[in-house]
Copies of this chain bind each other. A is one copy, B any other.
């Protein structure tokens, strides 16, 4: 009686595996600046709870497997703000972006099939791939190049018969990378040449800074039948705990098959669907203030990192993460050391070791992901703690 190799081989979440230590520290009265996880501190719009307030069904019944019609309508209208047009039957509501991603892997991959993903990438992609029996092939990108995509030739060389899709996070987690038109065109060309799906995880769509123009993969006419969009209310409306997401595609065949998958899990929770219906109707103006908040935070973190000796990082254009290359031996050891050994006035810091965002062995050992999801004073303090920790860390390389 053995558990499967499939689950055995899943790596523990790099963002969550240190949580037990953190809980202990907090109990001991130690303050931990937790920049390891993308849990925003922004208030969820009141519309969410307000919408649920009126709910009074006597029987909490199954809802349609594809999502309640009101929510699908609301998502359609949300997309229209970005000039993206999906029909009702081109949207399936899911248990967060997570389920949408798992279904995307399952929908395009049979056992042993491959998906190309620029690395570093959101580490849970590894888990979804393993659960689906699929393989991730990393597209190498580097912090020194601001995570720019490789040339078409280099991308082309990665293709073999097993590759079924390219998955991109846009804007990127953990990189903050926003793909420019030329890079998107390169991806489109590759997908067309090799008949691939493009899975675009665009859950950070709104979080783009410095007036950079953002384009969804769903806006490109030439690839519209092969694009699969992943979305979620989690980051967009700071509603991570609601677990409402969706998978949208104009590929009728895919959506027809995935509807059967949705039917197997019957439906998505009713209350959060009602709340999310209100969230997706939030006017675009709501984001102006939020984006400004994150932009300022990014600047604090970026400027602080730039001033630290031996630290390399680019200026992220989107999302709320930054990858920093540090003068350290091992990111896991450094993260643990900060929690267990390093204090300034009873305060310490938790960052996400970036090793797990790479699938290529040996990459990211000296990198950390910082989520700038606390208010400015806390971020300043956290960056000061990082700076001092780097000075004292016994595993400092140079």
Q: Kindly report how many copies of this chain are found in the complex they form together.
A: 2
A317 lies within 8 A of chain B by Cβ? no
Q: Is the CB of A241 within 8 A of B270?
A: yes
A160 and B96 CA atoms in complex are apart in Å by: 38
Q: Is A95 in contact with chain B by the CB < 8 A criterion?
A: yes
Bound-state Cα–Cα, A254 to B3, Å: 6
Q: Which residue of chain B lies nearest to A271 when distances are taken between CB atoms in the complex? A: B271
**CB distance B106 to A6 under 8 Å?**
yes
Q: A10, B60: Cβ atoms under 8 Å?
A: no
Task: List the one stretch of A123-131, A139-147, A378-386 in contact with chain B.
Answer: A123-131
- CB of A106 within 8 A of CB of B272, answer no
Q: Which of chain B's residues has its CB closest to A95's CB?
A: B95
Quick one: which of A74-118 are within 8 Å of B by CB? 95-96, 98-99, 102, 106-111, 113
A60:B39 contact, CB within 8 angstroms = no
- Given the interface pairs A133-B111, A261-B127, A264-B13, the reply to whether A241 lies near B106 with Cβ below 8 Å is no
**Residues 223-239 of chain A, each 1 if its beta carbon lies under 8 Å from chain B, else 0:** 00110000000000011
A1-32 CB contacts (< 8 Å) to partner B: 1-8, 10-13, 16
- CB-CB under 8 A for A44 and B60, given A109-B4, A257-B7: yes
Q: Is the C-beta of A344 less than 8 angstroms from some C-beta in chain B?
A: no
Q: Which A residues form the contact surface with B (CB < 8 A)?
A: 1-8, 10-13, 16, 37, 39-44, 48-49, 52, 55-63, 65, 95-96, 98-99, 102, 106-111, 113, 124, 127-128, 131-133, 164, 195-197, 225-226, 238-244, 251, 253-254, 257-258, 260-261, 263-272, 275
User: Could you jot down 17 A-B contacts, CB within 8 Å?
Assistant: A1-B195, A3-B107, A4-B108, A5-B110, A7-B106, A12-B260, A12-B263, A41-B59, A52-B52, A57-B241, A60-B238, A60-B241, A98-B266, A127-B261, A133-B133, A240-B266, A272-B272
